[in-house]
């Protein structure tokens, strides 16, 4: 008899596994269930559908060449039987059956399986806020919710909206509402930064500055949402946070998701501490005939070695293929993930792979992570844009642990992160990034790429030659003024330095780097000296020269004036060079 496979969940991991099974084992019988009526869609596309970038919901449920991935498609093109609007109620591991319920008719039946695939996805977390159940308050966890939001907005019912949670989904939804539809958006985040846990505060702040500059976005960080209030019609009318009331017609709950692992748990399968289903590198659960993948599983973080919950369509697809191979007797492996991630908001892109600095410190491991700023291609090429990089390298082992990158040119930003992602999984060392051979031609790269430069900065820091100062610390010292313990020494040409001298002297002094060796006696010795140039390169040169001359009371402003401005230090004057 042919192999009987049942797949629970038909969004990403499930369909991928099913298709792979049918390609490897055409005679297999594959039945795929989903409690929803809409299946096999790109959930990550929801904000782009709401924004209007994606005009029709069908595009999220179609192949690249416009074939709609509905049950008929799966039957004809893939040989898979899909039962949508069908819920899996329980798994009998001894009998090897799944009890299912047809949600239209209420009929229940038992489906036998040789191999079972659980791809039940995630559930949105609903925060315990009074009024979270009002009409107009919704997570964006499926296409029905997406459609309802878009309809309300398109019909002009939403003048102002609140988004609770400034993770990736919350931010993308905020942009979707504000950018095309001109909805006034209040974005509330409990943490003191956007994207908490995903990027360091320093990089998050650069994106925050960019968001704050957008007309319809109001960012409320460290905010406590107290209540959502409804009108007499039962619809949301306002949101109360930090004692203030904001009138809104729509509230989006974007406070994260958790693994939907109840079915697995009830069947007695092992769960990880993060609530995800425990799987081995073959994506097998604690029952060898049951596989699981996608947003319902816990995976290994290949950098930290710790379990990680990382719901992402990209991982779900990769896991689905591995499951498909192994269901058919293969031994394909999904060893885990390094945690690659990206977002583009109002034209500014931010991406990360591996661990950020804070995550490394949380693990009790010591690292360096200087901020590096450089053009994303030849600085003389007209298309060049500055890119902001933080490469994280462990002290002692010199192991590369992660990279965060930010810049206007999204493909270039993600390109740097992707170049490091695969190397993290291989346990690459710092020198592998120093020597990393990025393709070079002036319109497409630099002779010394910003990524190579970031590695070299880490190398210099580990060698004790670079003593960087973060924009935050610089800002703190600048705020102390001339009465504080810091003198700022501008190493640039007078044209660059002049506006800064005019408004910040006597704390801000001028000493061009190329004249430094002749003017050593002008370097203050009684205070800390922060060396400043446009990008941190010339000031590093100066720091090394001063060290060589026995003058060690200096710090180098990481990423220079470019980084401090991007970071949003308010008291700096405008500078034409930037």
Site for a copy of itself in 502-521 (CB under 8 A): 513-515, 517
Of positions 42, 121, 167, 230, contacts a copy of itself by CB under 8 A = 42
d(CA 261, CA 34): 15
Out of 415, 468, 471, 559, the residue judged to bind a copy of itself by CB under 8 A = 415
Query: What is the rounded distance in angstroms from the CA atom of residue 152 to the CA atom of residue 134?
Result: 15
H/E stretch holding 238 reads strand 236-241
Is residue 448 within the footprint of a copy of itself (CB under 8 A)? yes
**Could you tell me the smallest distance in angstroms from the CB atom of residue 534 to a copy of itself?**
5
**Among residues 210, 207, 214, 171, which one has the least CA distance to residue 189?**
171
CB of 12 to a copy of itself, least distance (A): 7
Interface segment toward a copy of itself; rule CB under 8 A; list 81-89, 94-102, 193-201, 534-542? 534-542
CB-count burial class (<10 Å; 0-12, 13-18, 19+) for 2: exposed
Closest CB 230 distance from a copy of itself, rounded Å: 33
Nearest-10 crossing angle of helices 471-480, 201-212: 70
Shortest Å, Cβ 436 to a copy of itself: 5
User: Which residues in 192-251 contact a copy of itself (CB under 8 A)?
Assistant: none
For residue 46 the two structure tokens come to 């929801």
Phi, psi for 453 (deg, rounded to 5): -65, -40
> Can you tell me which of 134, 227, 428, 551 binds a copy of itself, judged by CB under 8 A?
428
Whether 167 and 198 have beta carbons less than 8 Å apart is answered as yes
Work out how close the CB of 573 gets to a copy of itself at its nearest, in angstroms, rounded to a whole number: 17
Q: Is 423 in the site for a copy of itself (CB under 8 A)?
A: yes
Tell me if 314 contacts a copy of itself by CB under 8 A. Answer: yes
- Give the 3-state DSSP-derived string for 412-471, with helices as H, strands as E and coil as C: HHHHHHHHHHHHHHCCCEHHHHHCCCCCCCCCCCCCCCHHHHHHHHHHHHHCCCCCEECH
Q: Which of 439, 506, 526, 574 binds a copy of itself (CB under 8 A)?
A: 439
Query: Looking at 129-171, which runs of residues are DSSP E strands?
Result: 137-139, 160-164
Is 247:237 a contact under the CB 8 Å cutoff? Answer: yes
Please identify, using beta-carbon distances, which residue of 273 and 427 lies nearer to a copy of itself: 427
Question: Considering only residues 315-344, where is the footprint of a copy of itself by CB under 8 A?
Answer: 315-318, 321, 332-335, 337-344
Smaller CB separation from a copy of itself, 466 or 469: 466
- Out of 409, 470, 507, 556, the only residue in the binding site for a copy of itself (CB under 8 A) is 409
* Only segment of 85-93, 145-153, 191-199, 369-377 that touches a copy of itself (CB under 8 A): 369-377
Q: Kindly identify the residues of this chain, within the stretch 76-135, that bind a copy of itself according to CB under 8 A.
A: 76-79
- How far apart CA 566 and CA 387 sit, in angstroms, is 10
CA angle 331, 421, 312 (to 5 degrees): 70
Scanning residues 373 to 402, which ones bind a copy of itself (CB under 8 A)? 374-376, 378-382
Binding mask 138-177 for a copy of itself (x = CB under 8 A): ------------------------------x---x-----
The single residue among 103, 125, 438, 551 that binds a copy of itself, judged by CB under 8 A, is: 438
Instruction: Give the Cα separation of 30 and 24 in Å (integer).
Output: 12
Where does 251-393 have alpha helices with state H?
262-266, 313-327, 357-362
CB of residue 227 vs a copy of itself: minimum separation in angstroms?
32
Residue span binding a copy of itself (CB under 8 A) among the ranges 37-45, 80-88, 94-102, 265-273: 37-45
Select the residue interacting with a copy of itself from 86, 260, 285, 353 (CB under 8 A): 353
Measured between alpha carbons, how far is residue 43 from residues 286, 380, 575 in Å?
Answer: 28, 41, 42
Instruction: Report if residue 492 touches a copy of itself, rule: CB under 8 A.
Output: yes
Region from 93-101, 137-145, 212-220, 404-412 binding a copy of itself, contact rule CB under 8 A: 404-412
Give the integer Cα–Cα distance in Å for 267 and 286: 11
Spatial contact of 119 and 292, defined as CB atoms under 8 Å apart: yes
d(CA 285, CA 299): 11
CB atoms < 10 A from the CB of 518, how many? 8
Query: How many Cβ atoms from other residues are within 10 Å of residue 81's Cβ?
Result: 14
Indicate the helix (H) or strand (E) that contains 59: none
Q: Cα separation of 453 and 391, whole Å?
A: 10
Q: Which part of the chain contacts a copy of itself (CB under 8 A), choosing from 135-143, 151-159, 358-366, 434-442?
A: 434-442
List 278, 285, 349, 356, residue binding a copy of itself (CB under 8 A) = 349
Pattern 171-200, a copy of itself, x by CB under 8 A: -x----------------------------
Binding to a copy of itself (CB under 8 A) within 44-83 occurs at: 44-45, 48, 53-54, 59-60, 62-67, 72-73, 76-79
Closest to a copy of itself by CB, 259 or 324: 324
Q: Which of 17, 153, 203, 533 binds a copy of itself (CB under 8 A)?
A: 533
**Which residue lies nearer to a copy of itself by CB, 108 or 314?**
314
CB of 351 to a copy of itself, least distance (A): 5
29, two tokens: 């019988």
Q: How far is the CB of 410 from a copy of itself (least distance, A)?
A: 5
Nearer to a copy of itself (CB atom), residue 59 or residue 569:
59
Burial of 309 per CB tally in 10 Å (0-12, 13-18, 19+): buried
What's the closest the beta carbon of residue 360 comes to a copy of itself, in angstroms? 18
């Amino acid at each position: 008899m042919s192999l009987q496979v049942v797949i629970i969940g038909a969004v990403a991991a499930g369909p991928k596994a099913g298709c792979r099974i049918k390609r490897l084992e055409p005679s297999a019988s594959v039945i795929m269930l989903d409690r929803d009526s809409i299946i096999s869609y790109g959930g990550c596309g929801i904000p782009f559908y709401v924004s209007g970038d994606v005009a029709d919901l069908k595009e999220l449920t179609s192949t690249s060449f416009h074939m709609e991935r509905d049950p008929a498609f799966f039957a004809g093109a893939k040989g898979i039987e899909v039962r949508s609007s069908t819920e899996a109620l329980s798994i009998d591991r001894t009998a090897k059956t799944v009890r299912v319920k047809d949600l239209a008719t209420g009929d229940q039946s038992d489906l036998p399986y040789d191999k079972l695939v659980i791809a039940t996805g995630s559930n949105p977390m609903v925060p315990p806020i009074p009024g979270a159940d009002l009409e107009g308050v919704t997570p964006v966890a499926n296409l029905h919710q997406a459609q309802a939001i878009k309809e309300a907005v398109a019909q002009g019912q939403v003048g102002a909206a609140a988004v609770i949670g400034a993770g990736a989904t919350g931010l993308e939804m905020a942009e979707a509402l504000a950018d095309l539809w001109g909805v006034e958006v209040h974005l509330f985040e409990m943490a003191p930064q956007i994207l908490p846990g995903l990027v360091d505060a320093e990089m998050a702040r650069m994106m925050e500055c960019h968001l704050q500059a957008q007309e319809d976005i109001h960012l409320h960080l460290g905010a406590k949402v107290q209540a959502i209030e409804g009108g007499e019609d039962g619809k949301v009318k306002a949101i109360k946070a930090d004692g203030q009331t904001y009138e809104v017609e729509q509230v989006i709950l974007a406070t994260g998701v958790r693994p939907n692992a109840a079915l697995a748990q009830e069947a007695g399968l092992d769960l990880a501490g993060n609530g995800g289903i425990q799987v081995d590198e073959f994506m097998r659960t604690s029952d060898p005939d049951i596989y699981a993948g996608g947003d319902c599983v816990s995976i290994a973080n290949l950098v930290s070695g710790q379990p990680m919950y990382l719901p992402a369509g990209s991982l779900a697809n990769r896991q689905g293929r591995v499951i498909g191979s192994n269901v058919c007797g293969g031994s394909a492996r999904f060893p885990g993930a390094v945690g690659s991630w990206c977002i583009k908001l109002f034209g500014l892109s931010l991406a990360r792979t591996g661990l950020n600095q804070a995550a490394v410190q949380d693990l009790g491991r010591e690292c360096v992570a200087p901020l590096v700023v450089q053009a994303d291609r030849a600085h003389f090429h007209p298309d060049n844009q500055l890119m902001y990089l933080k490469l994280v390298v462990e002290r002692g082992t010199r192991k590369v642990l992660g990279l965060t990158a930010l810049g206007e040119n999204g493909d270039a930003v993600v390109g740097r992160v992707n170049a490091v992602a695969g190397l993290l999984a291989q346990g690459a060392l710092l020198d592998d990034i120093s020597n990393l051979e990025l393709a070079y031609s002036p319109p497409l790269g630099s002779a010394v790429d910003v990524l190579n430069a970031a590695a070299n900065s880490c190398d210099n820091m580990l060698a004790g030659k670079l003593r960087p100062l973060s924009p935050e610390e610089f800002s703190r010292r600048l705020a102390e003024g001339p009465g504080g313990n810091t003198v700022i020494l501008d190493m640039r040409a007078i044209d660059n330095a002049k506006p800064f001298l005019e408004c910040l002297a006597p704390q801000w002094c001028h000493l061009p780097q190329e004249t430094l060796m002749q003017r050593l006696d002008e370097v203050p010795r009684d205070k800390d000296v922060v060396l400043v140039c446009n990008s941190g390169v010339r000031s590093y040169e100066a720091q090394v020269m001063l060290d060589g001359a026995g003058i060690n009371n200096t710090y180098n402003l990481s990423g220079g004036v470019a980084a401090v401005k991007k970071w949003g230090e308010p008291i700096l004057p405008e500078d034409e060079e930037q």
